[in-house]
Amino acid sequence: MSPDYLAILYDLYGIIEDTKNIEIIQHQIKLLQKSRALAQQSNQSDLLGLVEYHLAYRFNNCHNYYSALEIIEQAETNLQKSGSYRRLVTVQMHKANLYLKLKIYSRANLIYSNLLSRKDQIQNNLVETSLYDNIAWCLFMQEKDEQALEYAKQALSLGSTFPDIYIVLAFSNYRLHQFDLARQFAIEFLEKNFEEERAVLIGLFMKLVLAVLDQEPDIASLASQITSLLPDFRAVELEIPFYSLLTDYYKSQNDFSRALDAQDKLVSYLKFNFNFH
Output the pLDDT for position 120. 74
Confidence of residue 223 (pLDDT cuts 50, 70, 90): very high
pLDDT at 214 over 60: yes
Tell me: pLDDT of 66 over 70. Answer: yes
Q: Which of 83, 94, 93 is nearest to 113 (CA)?
A: 93
What is the pLDDT confidence band of residue 36, given thresholds at 50, 70 and 90? very high
> 53 pLDDT exceeds 50?
yes
Percent of the chain having pLDDT more than 90?
A: 75
* Domains recognised in the chain with CATH numbers: 1-80 (no CATH), 84-162 (1.25.40), 165-277 (no CATH)
Judge whether residue 276 has pLDDT over 60.
no
Higher pLDDT, 270 or 81: 81
Q: Identify the helix (H) or strand (E) that includes residue 8.
A: helix 3-15
Distance CA 196, CA 184 (A): 21
pLDDT tier at 273, thresholds 50, 70, 90: low
Q: Residue 98 burial by CB count (10 A; 0-12/13-18/19+): exposed, middle or buried?
A: buried
Burial level of 220, CB count in 10 A (0-12/13-18/19+)?
exposed
What is residue 1's predicted lDDT score, i.e. its pLDDT?
63
Each residue of 233-244: pLDDT tens digit? 988 999 999 999
Q: What residue type is 30 in one-letter code?
A: K
Q: Is the pLDDT of residue 277 over 50?
A: no
pLDDT of 155-196, one tens digit each?
999 999 999 999 999 999 999 999 999 999 999 999 998 888
Tell me 37's DSSP state: H
C-alpha dihedral sign at 262, 177, 205, 213: positive
275 pLDDT higher than 80: no
Helix (H) or strand (E) holding 57: helix 45-61
CA distance 139 to 148: 5
User: What mean pLDDT do residues 17-34 have?
Assistant: 92
pLDDT exceeds 90 at position 124: no
Strands (E), the chain: none
Taking residues 264-269, report their average pLDDT: 90
Listed in sequence order, the residues at least 6 apart from 109 whose beta carbon sits closer than 8 Å to its beta carbon are: 138
% of the chain beyond a pLDDT of 70: 97
pLDDT band at residue 230 using 50, 70 and 90 as cut-offs: very high
